[in-house]
Amino acid sequence: MTGDLTCRADVEALLRRFYGRALIDDLLAEPFTEVREQGLESHLPVMCDFWETVLFGAGTYRGSAFRVHQRVRSQHPFGAEHFDRWLELWHRTVDEMYTGPHADRAKVQGAGIATSMNRRLSGLPSVAAEALRLGVPGSAPPA
C-alpha cells in the first residue's frame, strides 16, 4: 500500500490493476468484451474522469454511466452476480493498493454504484423508493 488515493495518477494506477483482473475474470470477461476489443487505453480516460469526479469532485466526467451499462447489457446480459464479482474485485484491488479516507470512499461509492446500477438495470425499485412505498419511518424525503 502507498497511502491514500490523492490524485488522478493514483486513480489510473488503481484502474489499471482492477481492469487487469476484471478483463480476464471468468464471470466478468463477457460483459467487458468491448473494452478488451477496443483496448484498455480507449476506456481508461473515461473511467479516470468518472472516478476522479466521484472521489475528488473534479467534475471531469460528463457521460451517463447508466446508459453505457444499459447498452452493454443489451449485448451481454449481466446481473447481480456480475455486480457482486465486480465489487469483490474492486474492494480487493483498493485494499491492496491504498488506505485512507479516499480509499474508503472508493469502496463505499463502488458498493453504492453497483447496487444502484443493478437495481436500475433489472427494473427493481431503489431501496429509498421501496422504503417510501412501505412507509418506513424516516424514509420521507426532506421537506
pTM, two decimal places: 0.79
The domains of the chain are located at: 8-124
- DSSP state, residue 142: P
* pLDDT digit string, tens, across residues 18-51: 999 999 999 888 888 888 888 889 989 999 999 9
The better pLDDT of the pair 140, 136 is held by 136
The better pLDDT of the pair 130, 22 is held by 22
Q: Quickly name the fold that domain 8-124 has.
A: Globin-like (1.10.490)
**How big is the chain by its Cα radius of gyration, in Å?**
16
> Of how many residues is the chain composed?
143
* pLDDT digit string, tens, across residues 56-98: 998 888 876 667 656 666 676 777 788 889 899 999 999 999 9
Angle at 110 between CA 15 and CA 41, to 5 degrees: 20
Which grid coordinates are listed for 122?
A: 433489472
Indicate the pLDDT class of residue 121, thresholds 50, 70 and 90. Answer: confident
CB contact set of 61 (below 8 Å; sequence gap of 6+):
46, 49, 50, 52, 53, 54
Mean pLDDT of 93-120: 91
